[in-house]
Structure 1
Amino acid sequence: MSYEDEGIIQMDAEELRELLVTGAKEPILIDVRELDEYAEAHIPGVPLIPMNTIASLSAELDRSASYVFICRSGKRSQNVALFLKEQGILNVRNFVGGMISWQGDIKSGLEWVVKDVNELKKD
């Protein structure tokens, strides 16, 4: 069940699973871990934008879109959400518990490493 921490909505694994099942265009899910962590195991279909590249791409993100950020434990993704909220992207959420709490499907390899934020737009 969602709750708020530091002004950021925290989503649990069940809520994230429901989003994946519906296949909704938004919120846009983004993994913010490092390449090696993502390659080891990630949620299928979720793109990677490593935390250390978020600042350089933040101006290009759609400010009207909604986002959910995912990391290993929920700490880095919380920091990304806080940073982007400060940059004017207001509809941001954190997957609390991160990948260590995820019990759903996982995939290995570098499935979708974002090079251009336009890749995130779903038709």
Structure 2
Amino acid sequence: MARSEDGIVQLSTEEMKSFLINKADEPIIIDVREVEEYENGHLPGVPLIPMNEIPSMVAGMDQSKSYVFVCRSGRRSQNTALYLREQGFSNVRNYEGGMLAWDGELEYGQEWVVKDVEELYK
């Protein structure tokens, strides 16, 4: 059973690998680190929306979808999940341990830096 912190489910590395392998439409996994951190190694196929840009994009995000947030250590992504829950999103989760805990494949460069939140749903 997954652990919860402040009401946010904390996902393990194995759970994250399962989501990436299955390539399902949901949950939508979002990296919330800064561009430079993302360029230096991120989860393959996972888009970047830096944490400080989330408030400007939240109105365009679909509250009926499920989301998982990723950062370097799990703290910024936890705070992002808490913020979205406050905005009315009910299915938000955090990758506990973040990229520091990741031992799988990495992608490098600006693979998918989100400019328009609609990109998440295509």
Give secondary structure in 2 for the equivalent of 1:63.
coil
Instruction: Mark the runs of 5 or more structure 2 residues left unpaired by the alignment.
Output: none
Matched, 1:3 2:9: no
Give secondary structure in 2 for the equivalent of 1:106.
coil
Partner of 1:78: 78
After TM superposition, the structure 1 = structure 2 runs for residues 1-123 of structure 1, keeping only pairs within 5 Å, are 2-122=2-122
Give secondary structure in 1 for the equivalent of 2:14.
helix
Report the count of equivalent residues: 122
Aligned residue type for 1:106: L
How far residue 90 of structure 1 moved from its aligned partner, in angstroms, is 1.0
Q: CA–CA distance in 1 between the matches of 2:49 and 2:23?
A: 20
Aligned residue type for 1:28: I
How far residue 35 of structure 1 moved from its aligned partner, in angstroms, is 0.3
Q: CA–CA distance in 2 between the matches of 1:83 and 1:49?
A: 14
How far residue 3 of structure 1 moved from its aligned partner, in angstroms, is 1.0
Give secondary structure in 2 for the equivalent of 1:85.
helix
TM-score by length of 1: 0.97
Aligned residue type for 1:63: Q
Instruction: Mark the runs of 5 or more structure 1 residues left unpaired by the alignment.
Output: none
TM-score by length of 2: 0.98
RMSD: 0.8
> Structure 1 segments of 4 or more deviating over 2 A?
none
